[in-house]
Structure 1
């Protein structure tokens, strides 16, 4: 009895479907395709990440770049950070910690949001501690810091000749280089207070912005960098062993560039002592090398690494959840609440400027959410 070609083809298709159904979803898989491009991706992503992060820093004091361009980068980056937290970190954490490859307690409780919540609370406690320690140090020096210079919301603020008026927006990098932080006298007239105030007025912003607000600002940027570093290493490892390399590679190029733009705009806006100025570039380089390091590690352990295994799902899920909590706190509290809702100058600005800020945030969040369709 002979078998017709049609019947043979149907039988082969049925066998293939049975094999796919019996395939272990937790088994390791790695494609050797595009090997040259996988190696080249280390250097390509390094360059694009470095470009996105250092561009705002290089142009922070330039006179030919319009102010609106800095504001676009700043608030577009805020939207990027928030979308990264929700779409690129929290959603994968749910998937990884809810993987069918995990058993026991991992299947009995949803750990991803719990870990993200713990991360948010930890960052809140850390920032409160940093703010209180910075404030106490100022008080010992006889100087009290006010974040609302000449504003009615601060009953204890007294004007000094270096304080900018409320109608001058000092949020941009270029304006921060020429504006002194607002200082207010303590109510005591002791000699130490006058000496500390005179010293503070003598020094420029580039030399000594020693204030609780500056401490909080530094903590916020350091936390932001830590969160994106964890995320960058994970996506580099994922890219190195992915079967859908080409699509994921293109998406990650844009992802790292835009995320670097958001981080770089925050680094450019920092008010630092002059001797710590190079630290901006150090932070930019550290961010830029994280994904290439992840790719290199993934290529090195490709034969033994099982991205679908129990250990990989647990480690990646926990790190993604921690990073999601960090970026959620940073994006919603530091980047939105502090810079817009709790910023007197921003709240007193025109409707047109606020609309522009909102559109920049939505553009960054929308674009990163769209990239989540492929990565």
Structure 2
């Protein structure tokens, strides 16, 4: 315990040139993973088979769920049980409680948002399923295999009224999708910034650097695929590209900040442990909710393509998801 440094001392300064280079290497990896699906989906010159997108979508879902458990919740528990912290932090499982708070906070925010949106649509005479199962023009959480539902009992809808309804519903659906992806990206960005800060000052730089290259590329693929599958009106297309760019620069920005405060920032200090532990806990809750509810439930249980699809298709999707989860969980062995 005598060599325990809980103060503001600096981090490791080995491999200075490689630490600077890591800003650009991880920028390329993160940006490639996040931007490729978005650009491939929206460009006419870059033709990517649907099978590739499907693989990336399910693989990315597994990556996000593994990130929540292995790369966020586990480190949060370690950080908030650091010997530098007051014993009061150990009398209650605060990391799990904060993750639980985060899960229910996101759930309540989304519940209120969709209740409001559904009420607005009902006032317009448009049928809408809160799960986004295709009763309207677009699924609330992105493409799930649902098609527009032609209700034989709604003879009152004329072409102009129907067009107005579709336009209004598309707006609400777009808002719902943006909220869902924003929640996912917010959790990922907090995590990515902390990763960058840690890499800049960590003594085990080489191992962590290699792992984070794969980590950020895979995670970027998961986020980028979600952004690519957003079904938004043309005027909102920029949102997907901005989301990918924001993800791409976050970890490099964290590394740059970490290098800037390298002489004073100690990742094991009392303050750093509390801040990173709390943020990791909250981010874990966000990704747990998003991964299990928005991705797993809506992609498999509430998805008509999966419900009516062949066993082979479902088995393939599950295999892709488990592969992504396994790879990301394995990376937790080193980072």
Normalising by structure 2, we get a TM-score of: 0.90
* The one of 3, 6, 12 aligned to 1:31: 12
8 Å Cα contact 2:144-2:304 kept in structure 1 = no
Q: CA RMSD in A?
A: 2.5
SS of 1:99 mapped into structure 2 = coil
C-alpha distance 315-233 of structure 1, shift in aligned 2 (>3 A) = same
Gaps of 5+ in 2: none
- Residue 338 (str. 1) matches residue 298 (str. 2): yes
| Cα distance in structure 1, aligned partners of 2:199 and 2:222 | 22
Distance (Å, rounded) in 2 between the aligned partners of 1:199 and 1:110: 51
Q: Distance in 2 between matches of 1:260 and 1:313?
A: 26
The question of 1:272 aligning with 2:235 is answered no
Aligned to 1:48: 29
Q: 1:142 aligns with which of 113, 125, 133?
A: 125
Whichever of the two has the greater Rg, that structure is 1
Query: Does the C-alpha gap of structure 1 residues 185 and 271 become closer, same or farther in structure 2, counting only changes over 3 Å?
Result: farther
- Where 2:41 maps in the other structure, the secondary structure is coil
Paired residues of 1:145 and 1:183 also in contact (CA < 8 A): no
- Paired residues in the alignment total 326
Once the two structures are superposed, residues 126-151 of structure 1 have per-residue CA deviations (whole angstroms, 9 ceiling, x without a partner) of: 110110111122123232224445xx
Note if 1:197 corresponds to 2:178.
no
What is the DSSP-based 3-state SS (H/G/I as helix, E as strand, rest coil) of the residue aligned with 2:170?
coil
Structure 2 SS opposite 1:122: helix
Following the alignment from structure 2 to structure 1, what is the Cα–Cα distance between the partners of residues 237 and 288? 28
Q: Once the 2 structures are TM-superposed, how far is the Cα of residue 343 of structure 1 from its aligned partner?
A: 1.6
**Aligned-pair CA distance for 1:69:** 0.7
Work out the CA distance in 2 between the residues paired with 1:360 and 1:110: 33
| Greater alpha carbon shift after TM alignment, 62-71 vs 320-329 | 62-71
Give matches, 1:78-97, under 5 Å: 78-97=61-80
Aligned-partner Cα distance in 2 for 1:32–1:288: 25
TM-aligned CA distance change 1:26 to 1:185, over 3 Å: farther
CA displacement at 1:309 relative to structure 2:
1.0
Unaligned runs of 5+ in 1: 1-20, 150-156, 164-169, 173-178
What is the 5 A alignment of 1:194-233? 195-200=160-165, 209-211=170-172, 213-233=173-193
Q: Secondary structure at the match of 2:127?
A: strand
Q: Deviations over 1:308-341 (max 9, x none)?
A: 1111000000000000000000000000001111
Task: Give me the whole-angstrom Cα distance separating, in 2, the residues matched to 1:32 and 1:23.
Answer: 18
Structure 2 Cα separation of the partners of residues 295 and 185 of structure 1: 58
The offset of 1:29, in angstroms, is 5.1
